[in-house]
Chains A and B, each alone.
Chain A
């Protein structure tokens, strides 16, 4: 089976005045459908840069990125926006919910940009909230929810368009250990249901629950191994 994500010699260079910073220098990686993968590495190693590229929020300055058989590294801004809408579900460390919108409306947002209207939109958003166990909190605003519940709303929002990849950047970074555990169970469940999950984390016990760990250092892949503990 061909890889869902095919990355070849991927590079990302930042320029600040005369200075050039190579945040990624030649990363090559294949990620298959229904993998459960953690990206680790010390601060400044290029994890966020990698996530931004994988999530089509950013374009590389070198190399190729094939997503679902499509070369996405050279697409225009608007084409990338459509790829994000269709293929990617983002989960952020700080949840990033619209504070004045209800859970339901927050989850509806990706459908708004997909052009799904009216009842179908509400029904699909409600189903996604059910899936993360928040069907009874649809009319609550983020301020009326706990941290764990907020992150579940964010996960429901990431799922609602049935994306190829769920991309999570330190999804438990703002949560206590009990809540983190709860959220990790949601990810594990989604993975068990067939979802491809990629998350950035610097916590080894979070990474330990995934099936594959890629470690970055100085913008390069330092190690890439199957996680025996989780696979067993």
Chain B
């Protein structure tokens, strides 16, 4: 009963699409747009999330950071709020104090700045240059491809740089970068090594890592913001719980800053979980916003389906009368038009999936993410398309089902 309705309905729907291409195209346009957006966003968000998890895995979920002040949106360094201004700026001695704790394997003061790198007229986009030390890759992951990391002597402020490999390729092509002088933010640095980032690390657009220089060199060469750019990277010893290590760091810093019990901390600790949280929140807000947008498109599409199905029902009044005369029950007619609407929207959904996958692939290529589109999102998109057809087809289908056969047959 239901199956026979579907068979007939699909045949009729495909027929109706073929015989009235423009009308069908308009009917499903909204659905196509809606599904395209959802698919593109789903594949993008999926890609981003996967990269983030990979990045966290590389850096090790136990690494955490000390920062002057942590908020979800970076504070404006020129107009610091009072509660930030009273906090001391992080210093090398803070990192050294933390590093002396028995729970801690490594603590180093780092800075990150945005600069362009240049070599003989070739320039990169703005990239992140880290001012760090020779343990950089232990903490952030990655592998040294050529050359070496900083020597003890260089750490005291020599203008040397270990370039990220994509940046090195961009600047040097097939030339040997080792020993060459590149300009970073207008300052000359000698290239002593090339490293490769972990392949699947997540970097938002415009936030690609470009290279690492000694912390002291970065401090001398670049202007940076002491609140947002300066931090201490901390890695606990193996076997030490992150919570324990963080407690140790908190106690040590409070003591060295002479804070009394009851005083608030004058620093913040950030764990990978928190970073993940922020990014996760950001992507899910983004996702929600896109879902809301595409819901509007789908709603408009659904109303389009309803309007055009109404016209179609009126157009085919005589056919409905005939089918009833030949023995179609109300349910048969209802089903026929519901299946027709669902077929239309499913075709729209399928187009939307293809377009969305295409758009997602382009976006991912542009952002150099890599990930597969989750199967569930395809299934979901198909389901949503069919549901829209069924819901918005209900009114026209019901109108068709309730037609009086005599009246309908007389209709011209």
Q: Of B1, B326, B331, B406, which contacts A115 at CB under 8 A? A: B1
Q: A184 near B: Cβ within 8 Å?
A: no
The residue in chain A whose Cβ has the minimal distance to the Cβ of B412 is A94
Q: Of B4, B19, B327, which contacts A81 at CB under 8 A? A: B327
B318 and A82 within 8 A (CB): no
What residues on B are CB-neighbors of A84 within 8 Å? 324-327
User: Which of A143-183 touch B at CB < 8 Å?
Assistant: 157, 161
- Supposing A96-B318, A96-B409, A98-B319 touch, asked if A55 and B326 sit within 8 A by C-beta, the answer is no
- Supposing A77-B330, A96-B318 touch, asked if A55 and B325 sit within 8 A by C-beta, the answer is yes
A115 and B4 within 8 A (CB): yes
A100 and B406 within 8 A (CB): no
A144 to B151, CA, bound (A): 91
Q: Of A58, A81, A92, A157, which contacts B328 at CB under 8 A? A: A81
The residue in chain A whose Cβ has the minimal distance to the Cβ of B326 is A110
B327 and A113 within 8 A (CB): yes
Closest CB in chain A relative to B361 CB, distance in Å: 38
**Using a Cβ–Cβ cut-off of 8 Å, how many residues does chain A contribute to the interface with B?**
25
A90 to B326, CA, bound (A): 8
0 or 1 for each of B1-40: is its CB under 8 Å from A? (1 = yes): 1001000100000010001000000000000000000000
What residues on A are CB-neighbors of B322 within 8 Å? 96, 98
What residues on B are CB-neighbors of A114 within 8 Å? 327
Q: B93 near A: Cβ within 8 Å?
A: no
Q: B332 near A: Cβ within 8 Å?
A: yes
B326 and A85 within 8 A (CB): yes
Q: B125 near A: Cβ within 8 Å?
A: no
Which secondary structure dominates where chain B touches chain A? helix
B332 and A52 within 8 A (CB): no
The residue in chain A whose Cβ has the minimal distance to the Cβ of B410 is A48
B326 and A57 within 8 A (CB): no
Closest CB in chain B relative to A174 CB, distance in Å: 14
- Supposing A52-B406, A100-B15 touch, asked if A109 and B326 sit within 8 A by C-beta, the answer is yes
0 or 1 for each of B294-334: is its CB under 8 Å from A? (1 = yes): 00000000000000000000000011001111111111100
A12 to B280, CA, bound (A): 71
0 or 1 for each of A44-85: is its CB under 8 Å from B? (1 = yes): 000000001001011000000000000000000110011011
The residue in chain B whose Cβ has the minimal distance to the Cβ of A49 is B406
Q: B142 near A: Cβ within 8 Å?
A: no
What residues on B are CB-neighbors of A115 within 8 Å? 1, 4
A92 to B328, CA, bound (A): 17
The residue in chain B whose Cβ has the minimal distance to the Cβ of A90 is B325
0 or 1 for each of A112-134: is its CB under 8 Å from B? (1 = yes): 11110100000000000000000
The residue in chain B whose Cβ has the minimal distance to the Cβ of A109 is B326
Of B1, B327, B331, most buried by chain A (CB within 10 Å of CB) is B327
B330 and A78 within 8 A (CB): yes
A115 to B2, CA, bound (A): 10
A100 and B19 within 8 A (CB): yes
- Supposing A57-B325, A85-B326, A115-B4 touch, asked if A78 and B331 sit within 8 A by C-beta, the answer is yes
- Supposing A100-B19, A117-B4 touch, asked if A58 and B327 sit within 8 A by C-beta, the answer is no
A157 to B15, CA, bound (A): 21
Closest CB in chain B relative to A78 CB, distance in Å: 4
What residues on B are CB-neighbors of A57 within 8 Å? 324-325, 405-406, 409
A197 to B330, CA, bound (A): 28
A113 and B328 within 8 A (CB): yes
The residue in chain A whose Cβ has the minimal distance to the Cβ of B15 is A100
A82 to B1, CA, bound (A): 13
Closest CB in chain A relative to B36 CB, distance in Å: 30
A81 and B324 within 8 A (CB): yes
The residue in chain A whose Cβ has the minimal distance to the Cβ of B325 is A90
Closest CB in chain B relative to A186 CB, distance in Å: 19
B326 and A157 within 8 A (CB): yes
The residue in chain B whose Cβ has the minimal distance to the Cβ of A55 is B325
Closest CB in chain B relative to A89 CB, distance in Å: 9
Q: Of A55, A86, A110, A112, which contacts B4 at CB under 8 A? A: A112
B409 and A110 within 8 A (CB): no
B329 and A82 within 8 A (CB): yes
What residues on A are CB-neighbors of B409 within 8 Å? 57, 92, 96
What residues on A are CB-neighbors of B319 within 8 Å? 98
Closest CB in chain A relative to B205 CB, distance in Å: 51
A113 and B332 within 8 A (CB): yes
A100 to B323, CA, bound (A): 15
The residue in chain A whose Cβ has the minimal distance to the Cβ of B401 is A77
A151 to B330, CA, bound (A): 27
A82 to B327, CA, bound (A): 6
User: Which of B324-363 touch A at CB < 8 Å?
Assistant: 324-332
- Extra contacts, 12 of them, besides A77-B329, A84-B324 (Cβ < 8 A), are A78-B331, A81-B324, A84-B325, A84-B326, A84-B327, A86-B327, A96-B322, A100-B15, A110-B326, A110-B327, A112-B8, A113-B323
10 residue pairs of the A-B complex, CB under 8 angstroms, read A57-B324, A57-B325, A57-B405, A58-B406, A77-B330, A81-B328, A82-B327, A86-B327, A90-B326, A100-B19
User: 5 closest pairs, A vs B, by CB?
Assistant: A85-B327, A113-B327, A78-B329, A81-B329, A110-B326
